[in-house]
Structure 1
């Protein structure tokens, strides 16, 4: 029997399954017998203990996982939730029930908001369970212990569990919930763990079931033959050899260069990206400076972080995305007004246009950082004691959620006035593809965010498991929009990159290049697989694969058609 889901990465795993323990039972809604003051003191102690534990886990995990766990630690100490808990205790609830209801209320609110905030709902559930376990004096359910390696099966995984997985024991992940941009998927991809999320029927897998997990195909074979197992083990060995191969620039088989860049959330990931062979940064997310702040960071505060990132990539290109926030990532100093549909509200460049000083400060800090690193400002090398051209960093800056030429003209004009030399836009809204020729009149480049582009094209929330099958960048409708952007870039003589999760899918990466994409940016762990797949195809073959995908009538059929043609080309 074969179960299907959304594969994360290109890896394969073979082994017995082991299930996550069932979550703690829901606290009974009964009248409290403990005095309110004592109950509140116990709850506060539990909240503090959980917050400290999550912070400690984050420090141990480091990198992207640390950012996720630090955000969870803040949830455990959130004063609004603490006030809600205290009010429920005053209404006669027990400590456990008050915690459960307070976090559940906020979780439901985030789910209704959709987008980025909906992604935090699972995190809130995890914090709630950990606090309740602390109150009960029992361990919070976590990764099961095993003397032998196993493939973990769970309803879903909390960031605190995924971040500290023992890679010597956990060979792969299978979850019932989650989509390609859930925290389970993101952290699995960053750790190069083969995973399949959104697997219907995963809950029926018994412990000890030998399975073949094929992330590339998005399948879990629950009754593999001996030949299937041998084939999977061979593929695992081939990938290990691939990872150990010398690092080379990304290119097609005919030598056409396709730079492979890294998506980073802070400068802390620079060393890992360079070690993986990243040729620069294709998406530097600046939100980490803003999301946990009560006020917008100053120019100086931003400058320090930007300079640190740029210095790590001297001699390479760094593409920075200005603040991507708004109603779906509410910031009190930007826009926290409630909206009926935040995913379609005041976000990205729209929010920055409404609060222009935040944009001006950010661009000013970026321009200062570039000048400091290059040591020559914008007029020439060496004027302020800097080195030669080979030691310069190539800074590109782009705006998120650009819908049309007016957005593009606004952003690029402001950016250039403040000293940014290369200013571009992100194409995440279908309208940007429809008027790409107009956008290229002012933008120096376009970077396609395939996660949101897919979400908006197919009207499928990218964080909602029930429509995960629609949240697939292989869909011909999405690929046609990418092709429109590729053609417009070629006609204008300007680059078109992809910085969404689609770039991390090796075969899809070839299709994207066939559609006119000139660079690919991804999590560093995916670079080796993408580099190897590109090297198997010429430009002519990539264009043929793209045409095959565009002719398909669904995402699954596009994937199948391209896979078959690629296999035929390899045999030929």
Structure 2
């Protein structure tokens, strides 16, 4: 028996034989084309168009977050800048296959160097290039294997187009060697409730057909398991299925301490599913979907319509809306598309909105109008707040537009350390653990080479969260968690022990988190949190929490 470790997604456990994802097709040769540049251009145009339409169709079939990702890929495939790069190579007598390969690779390297949101797009671009080249060659694009029986899929990473449409009757679990807890693979796996472990570098040695147990709760892949281990895993899977089918109740600890469980949503269409899965409201509504697909800012009327649709789905419930989180790492021509050497530390979030205040004012106008037309309890927060002055700026301008509850996101260490002063003015704080971990550990959360640092269990991150929780207690202000950390059931207990008063996550994670919270009192949650804080690193903190939870 051997154990391979990675980052588990959720609490699931599964077992089955390994089937490996096919390796990417070999790079085309740089031989001159036998066709004219015009003929090659026509071939490439047809292939790109076909791939873009296929991605859109897959997105429409998948729905949810997958649809957003795949539609973004389709737009990427038809990006005019990329088309110009490809055409430049075709004009030099290159083949369509090589022109696409070389142009996309050049663009990919630029995106990787930028990091942040654009760095994440680099892997998606590889998938688009592979699909276009396969169509030019007249062969099927590399995809999920079909060995004829249920299997555990092992891959370097998984393209969004493949993750979105995985046949869950055949794919028992997913193991990737690359990626972290905030990669597209992890996010889509969580949304589809796929048992998954990402960033398991040792999985490169797994053999085709080899039997494995995938334990997402522990982040462990067990190879060559014994009959007893297989039986235990099967029993755990059955127990988890039974817990998931239990009646939905509000989030709470074993002693009755309420812990509202809220949903992270990227568009209003996800509201119905979130309610069905037990969400007690919305802890993070990302408004970027209205902006990123537009060449100009959406109108107040367009925004009001979307916000009204969202708020109408949660009458009497809390709905926390984040104003536009964009800037140099998500360039928008109407906001800020200037090149920056390090966009993750550049003009983004509230900084970008202050530089283009009219966009913020229009968004607040639309939110206030939608609030007046519905019965939800609207809370609005600013992203990437780093100073007390920025917090006061946002709270003041939000109040000018009649926003009753205005708060801030805590995503950088400075705002965590100054949370007591920030919460003297702001109505609430919501901790974005993805970015807080990135900035605390100085590790790009979308860069595979430093994925091991992107772990919210790190005691340095937990200490900062404790600072915010304590500031909330002193000021009598709520402190929510809206990063991916809230979807980790044991870590959710720790976060409550550190002072979090609500947790927001992908709706599919709510059942696991609810069940785990019900196993512990508030005093036990604090003791488990203390055990994690006393550790020296992320892995030891998780282990210490597990030990404390089992006492």
Q: Which residue matches 1:435?
A: 418
Q: Which residue matches 1:246?
A: 247
1: CA distance between counterparts of 2:198 and 2:94? Answer: 36
Superposition misfits of 4+ residues, deviation over 2 angstroms: none
Q: Which residue matches 1:295?
A: 296
Q: Which residue matches 2:196?
A: 195
Q: Which residue matches 2:392?
A: 409
1: CA distance between counterparts of 2:182 and 2:376? Answer: 30
1: CA distance between counterparts of 2:23 and 2:114? Answer: 28
Question: What's the offset of the Cα at 1:201?
Answer: 2.3
> How do 1:108-507 and structure 2 match up within 5 A?
108-373=109-374, 392-507=375-490
1: CA distance between counterparts of 2:207 and 2:119? Answer: 30
Contact 1:405 1:438 in 2 (8 A): yes
2: CA distance between counterparts of 1:506 and 1:201? Answer: 25
Q: Which residue matches 2:90?
A: 89
Are residues 1:528 and 2:508 paired? Answer: no
2: CA distance between counterparts of 1:232 and 1:206? Answer: 21
1: CA distance between counterparts of 2:120 and 2:166? Answer: 21
**Secondary structure of 1:335's match?**
coil
Contact 1:326 1:346 in 2 (8 A): yes
2: CA distance between counterparts of 1:460 and 1:236? Answer: 34
Question: What's the offset of the Cα at 1:126?
Answer: 0.3
**Secondary structure of 2:452's match?**
coil
C-alpha deviations, 1:414-453, integer Å up to 9, x for none?
0010111100000000000111111012100000000000
**Secondary structure of 2:305's match?**
helix
2: CA distance between counterparts of 1:147 and 1:36? Answer: 43
C-alpha deviations, 1:54-113, integer Å up to 9, x for none?
000000001110000000111111111111111110112111000011111111111000
Structure 2 unaligned regions, length at least 5: none
1: CA distance between counterparts of 2:29 and 2:527? Answer: 61
Contact 1:9 1:216 in 2 (8 A): yes
2: CA distance between counterparts of 1:334 and 1:555? Answer: 37
**Secondary structure of 1:3's match?**
strand
Contact 2:36 2:93 in 1 (8 A): no
C-alpha deviations, 1:98-133, integer Å up to 9, x for none?
001111111111100001111100110000000000
2: CA distance between counterparts of 1:464 and 1:172? Answer: 23
Q: Which residue matches 2:32?
A: 31
2: CA distance between counterparts of 1:133 and 1:495? Answer: 52
Q: Which residue matches 1:516?
A: 499
1: CA distance between counterparts of 2:55 and 2:481? Answer: 33
Question: What's the offset of the Cα at 1:470?
Answer: 1.1
TM-score (norm 2): 0.99
Question: What's the offset of the Cα at 1:146?
Answer: 3.0
1: CA distance between counterparts of 2:314 and 2:71? Answer: 26
Contact 1:6 1:468 in 2 (8 A): no
Q: Which residue matches 1:380?
A: none
Count of residue pairs the alignment pairs up:
550
Q: Which residue matches 1:555?
A: 538
2: CA distance between counterparts of 1:526 and 1:201? Answer: 26
Question: What's the offset of the Cα at 1:147?
Answer: 2.4
2: CA distance between counterparts of 1:441 and 1:201? Answer: 48
Q: Which residue matches 1:384?
A: none
Mean alpha-carbon deviation: is it higher for 216-225 or for 345-354? Answer: 216-225
2: CA distance between counterparts of 1:544 and 1:351? Answer: 41
Q: Which residue matches 1:389?
A: none
2: CA distance between counterparts of 1:34 and 1:61? Answer: 38
Q: Paired residue for 2:529, among 542, 546, 550?
A: 546
2: CA distance between counterparts of 1:83 and 1:470? Answer: 38
Q: Which residue matches 2:45?
A: 44
2: CA distance between counterparts of 1:126 and 1:326? Answer: 25
C-alpha deviations, 1:150-179, integer Å up to 9, x for none?
100011100000000001110110111111
Structure 1 unaligned regions, length at least 5: 374-391
**Secondary structure of 1:469's match?**
helix
C-alpha deviations, 1:507-534, integer Å up to 9, x for none?
1000000011000000001000000000
C-alpha deviations, 1:255-275, integer Å up to 9, x for none?
000000000000111111001
**Secondary structure of 1:224's match?**
coil
Q: Which residue matches 2:19?
A: 18
1: CA distance between counterparts of 2:305 and 2:283? Answer: 20
